Homo-oligomer: A and B are copies of this chain.
Amino acid sequence: MQEKVTFNIDKNKNFSEWYTEIVKRAELADLRYNIKGFLVFQPFSVLTMENMYSLYEKKLQEKGHLPYWYPAVIPESNFLKEKEHVKGFSPDVFWVTSYGDNQKLEEPLALRPTSETAFYQMFSLWIRSYKDLPFKTYQRAQVWRYETKATRPFIRSREFYWIEAHDAFSSLEEAEAQVKEDMETTKEMLHDEFGIPFIFFKRPQWDKFAGAVNTYAADTLMPDGKVIQQPSTHLLGQNFSKPFDVKFKDKNGEDKYCFITCYGPAISRIFASLISIHGDDNGLIFPFKIAPFQIVIVPVLIKGKEKEVLKKAKDLQKKLAEKFRVYLDLREENMGEKFYHWEMKGIPIRLELGPKEAKSSEVTLFRRDTRKKEKVKLKDLVKKIEKVGEELTKNLIKKADDEFKNSIINVKNFSELKKINGKFVRVNFCSIDKDGEKCAEKIEKETELTVRGIRSDVKEKASGKCIVCNKEAKEVVYLAKPY
């Protein structure tokens, strides 16, 4: 099969095709690994996700979290200790049951779908006194879940890459403050670094993390208007500290159970939003700081003049590599193909260097977001790149914010819900406690919209009747169509 040289798909009209094609053409992930729902992540996504990990981990460490590596497997007996948790996660668990030539393990091991039941048994050994608190930890890890819904690369798969932070405190107030800190961290990373706008919701009781007191989750919209859950933070209270015996002696020497929170940014899923929100009809656009390569140098090699151009290109690469991630493209392809290739791959800055530039002290700089070219003097180049890089990222964030602004609509009548596509729908709703679940089910069944919860950034007062049951509305909730 002949590969297409150009990439030109209308992202907003044909998002599903755009997404499928860009994952393949930009070599982000290969779906042909022969286990359903598992994929091979390729260099352009891995390099970017490593940069994302690095920024996220630095931030968590600055806020007092220390890194751990826990085993990928959890003994069945641990897994069964918290009964809501086991109910929620059991259907999804892959089980390791044997080794070697069909020899049975003493106890089945869960391939971790999440690690509460691994972390907290260790917390119970490590935490002794109020002096050990707060105890703030995280790990970068992959987790495995036997998804039954359709899988899509980066969006939903049976193996994904995340960070999970687990923190223990001596009081409920401190745990609640941690939940706020996690929301703040989400803003600092998702929005300020990765350019992904979102709303943080308090989830309804029927949709909280299995075992949590309350779940707060960031939701963003994809270009097709579907909602995708991004980092969530969970107030676990003492729900896990009791079965796992996570206790501390307070200042009076009394034994108390810890209050626990956990927080789970999924790097591979954030990557899905990142490429979808910033990409355009010509392919990907990466924010400067996390781009796999920040600069590509394309030497224009005209016969007879290759030597001096090549030398200049290599010198330039060497100099820029001190500050940036640079790729020098010496592949046997024609210019047009190279230009399209790197645009499609989303490299923020392309430098073109031909015989004319090799003689002068200038280079041509192409900027991926605006697709504009300009000549830059070599002596100004480093500063110019820094400036363009910053501007490009700011521009991506602003564009994303502007689009997101118009993503909320108010709806008063149930019948209108069926016509909605691709927005957050703001409605009056009876309750996000268990007694509201029936109304939520009716919405989902008849409109595919799900109740995302109430905003946790602003307090909104309901006035009127529930859009479903017509009882007095206690809440203003937001609905959206999930994948």
Residues in chain A within 8 A of chain B (CB atoms) = 30, 32-35, 38-43, 46-47, 50, 66-73, 75, 77-78, 90-102, 105, 109, 111, 118, 121-122, 125-126, 131, 142, 144, 146, 159, 161, 332
Contacts and interface: CB of A to CB of B under 8 A. Distances in A.
B98 A142 contact: no
Given A34-B77, A72-B142, 10 more contacts: A30-B126, A32-B125, A40-B70, A73-B159, A92-B99, A94-B105, A95-B98, A95-B99, A97-B98, A99-B146
A43 B159 CA distance: 25
Contacts of A97: 95-98
B146 A38 contact: no
Contacts of A99: 92-95, 146
Given A99-B93, A125-B32, A38 B73 contact: yes
A90 B100 contact: yes
Contacts of A66: 43, 47
A94 B93 contact: no
A159 B68 contact: no
A35 B74 CA distance: 8
A77 B50 CA distance: 31
A70 B73 CA distance: 18
A69 B100 contact: no
18 contacts: A30-B122, A33-B70, A33-B71, A34-B78, A35-B71, A35-B109, A38-B73, A39-B71, A40-B122, A46-B68, A47-B66, A71-B159, A92-B99, A94-B109, A95-B96, A95-B98, A99-B146, A100-B146
A471 to B, nearest CB: 37
A68 to B, nearest CB: 6
Contacts of A33: 70-71, 118, 121-122
A40 B73 CA distance: 11
Contacts of A41: 68-70
A43 B68 contact: yes
A68 B40 contact: yes
A38 B95 contact: no
Contacts of A131: 332
A75 B34 contact: yes
Contacts of A332: 131
A41 B332 CA distance: 46
Contacts of A126: 30
A100 B91 contact: yes
Contacts of A96: 94-97, 111
A33 B121 CA distance: 8
A50 B101 CA distance: 35
A94 B159 CA distance: 17
B39 A67 contact: no
A216 to B, nearest CB: 27
Contact of A100 (B67, B68, B93, B118): B93
Contacts of A42: 68
Contacts of A91: 100-101
B67 A40 contact: no
Contacts of A68: 40-43, 46
Contact of A69 (B69, B72, B105, B161): B161
A11 B52 CA distance: 41
Contacts of A78: 34
Given A68-B42, A90-B101, A75 B35 contact: yes
A333 to B, nearest CB: 10
Given A50-B67, A71-B38, A92 B100 contact: yes
Contact of A46 (B69, B92, B111, B159): B69
Nearest to A53: B50
A96 B95 CA distance: 6
Interface-centre pick from A39, A68, A118, A125 (highest chain B CB count, 10 A) = A68
A389 to B, nearest CB: 21
A43 B67 contact: yes
Contacts of A34: 75, 77-78, 121
A134 to B, nearest CB: 14
